[in-house]
Amino acid sequence: MVSYKELGLVNTREMFAKAMKGGYAIPAYNFNNMEQLQAIIQAVVETNSPVILQVSSGARKYANQTLLRYMAQGAVEYAKELGQPNPQICLHLDHGDTFELCKSCIELGFSSVMIDGSALPYDENVALTRKVVDYAHQFDVTVEGELGVLAGIEDDVQAETHTYTDPAQVEDFVKKTGVDSLAISIGTSHGAYKFTPAQCTRNEEGVLVPPPLRFDILEEVSKRLPGFPIVLHGSSSVPQEFVKMINENGGKMPDAVGIPEEQLRKAASMSVCKINIDSDLRLAMTGTIRQYFNEHPDHFDPRQYLKPARANIKKLVQHKLVDVLGCNGKA
């Protein structure tokens, strides 16, 4: 058993309390490799921001659970080296689907876990979530639950259609499970194709404009759970500059579209304390590497193309921290 406190990590309890009071949100960035992690830590230190480092089940398999633990510990020490004396870094399991997976992550040093029973019947979701909460809270690990189902694909998580969160269920769910935060479905989606062209309109430049999020659901949930931390999954904005960069350099991502940043800003000013961002970082990395390969076909050292990719991820992360979520200066 490794305690996250030994690694210098924090859970989300105080993070979310401050975010709720201050009217901002904490980003949860999914990462899979060293360059992504370096970019995230550099950005949060330079903006003095808190951050949630998020690992999916697929990323855990890809990167190896032992390496991930030491990468998280390294991230804390790296932040200190860069000038942040008391880094506010949480290591979070994204979309844990079994008690055993959550238990394993807690024992390996994760400071927060999500148990996603949203595809189960309500009572089964409650029972599974309660079981994880009872175990996690013994070690002061925070737990995120979920009500409602997001459409789209993220690693092993797939759903063809949305099931919006029913606000009438949230009070009972939180009371029975004891979760520390709740992910809800208000129209966000996993992946880089969050909406079909038929669901969108097009602006004068021919770019897809997605439908608005269901803020009425968020407002009703907030009324029923005053002061309780709400989470949005599938909240990448899918920056069109990187979609264009990919498409102009051999890629094929027609009609990729995300959540408009102004809608995320609005959510962050309400009861949403955690906003998950994954696809944006992938797009920045892939677009930059594709462009580099086109411009430098003779290069073969991975450091040559990963360095500009890392720089673009850092720039993107800084933008999200400052201009979208408003958590800069809050570490």
Catalytic residues: 94
Q: Which two tokens stand for residue 77?
A: 């020490």
Q: Which residues pair with 149 in a beta bridge?
A: 163
Nearest to 90 by CA among 65, 118, 109, 70: 109
Question: Three-state SS string across the chain, please?
Answer: CCCHHHHCCCCCHHHHHHHHHHCCCEEEEECCCHHHHHHHHHHHHHHCCCEEEEEEHHHHHHHCHHHHHHHHHHHHHHHHHCCCCCCCEEEEEEEECCHHHHHHHHHCCCCEEEECCCCCCHHHHHHHHHHHHHHHHHHCCEEEEEECECCEEECCEEECCCECCCHHHHHHHHHHHCCCEEEECCCCCECCECCCHHHCEECCCCCEECCCCCHHHHHHHHHHCCCCCEEECCCCCCCHHHHHHHHCCCCCCCCCECCCHHHHHHHHCCCEEEEEECHHHHHHHHHHHHHHHHHCCCCCCHHHHHHHHHHHHHHHHHHHHHHHCCCCCCC
